[in-house]
Amino acid sequence: MKNIFIQSGIYISFVLFLTSCRGVRINTEYDSSVNFRSYKYYSICSADLNMEGERIDSSFKEEIKNRFINAVQHEMNTYYQLNDVKAELKIGFNLKTTDKKNIYRICDRPPGTGAVPVCHLDSVVYNEGTLLIYIADIKMNQIIWQSTITGIVNYNDLRNKKLIDKTIHRLFKEYPIENSPSQEGLSQQ
């Protein structure tokens, strides 16, 4: 029995090691024909701030929504001004979490015997989450930039302001404003 716990612990540690090595996956897409420097104002559409997950209750959603809004505002204020009336860009996001289960087999041979191993199935439950942030041009009514990050989620991490700020900053590292033409030479609006 002791051997089963050791094997189980080793397997769980190995699974956690693999998921930590895998880390998070980031995917960013944008419209390369857009001059991201030509915009001045943005707004965050609270109606587009969606969170889906088996264990996300309404009070938790509001807390997390406010943390994401603050983190996104911090990043966007680097480039633009928040102004709901003059907004040219609209920001939205979606957070989806899913419970996952990894089933594995454990076999144990009674010590000191040549007996056939006794095997059984065991499992590890974890949560995977995907965060999507998008920016849409209001006049064109089209998404011009979006970035997703997917990885293992611990619900306590969603309460961690520093971790949320770091995650949003990581997504905005892919924001293409540095690749846009400069403001010089653009017609004044």
What is the C-alpha separation between 154 and 129, in angstroms, rounded? 9
Q: What is the pLDDT of residue 152?
A: 77
Domain encompassing residue 172: 21-99+126-179
Instruction: Classify residue 187: in a domain, yes or no.
Output: no
Instruction: Classify residue 109: in a domain, yes or no.
Output: no
pLDDT tens track for 42-76: 999 877 667 666 666 677 778 888 888 999 999 99
Q: Is residue 94 scored above 50 in pLDDT?
A: yes
Contact of 60 with 68, CB cutoff 8 Å: no
The domain that holds 82 is classified in CATH as 3.30.160.670
For the chain, how many structural domains are there in total?
A: 1
Q: Is residue 137 scored above 90 in pLDDT?
A: yes
Q: What is the pLDDT of residue 85?
A: 95
Instruction: Count Cβ neighbours within 10 Å for each residue of 111-140 and write b for 16 or more, e otherwise.
Output: eeeeeeeeeeeeeeeeeebbbbbbbbbeee
Instruction: Classify residue 132: in a domain, yes or no.
Output: yes
Amino acid at 129: G
Bridging pattern class, strands 41-52 and 81-82? parallel
Q: What average pLDDT is seen over the chain? A: 77
Give the residue with greater pLDDT, 158 vs 35. Answer: 35
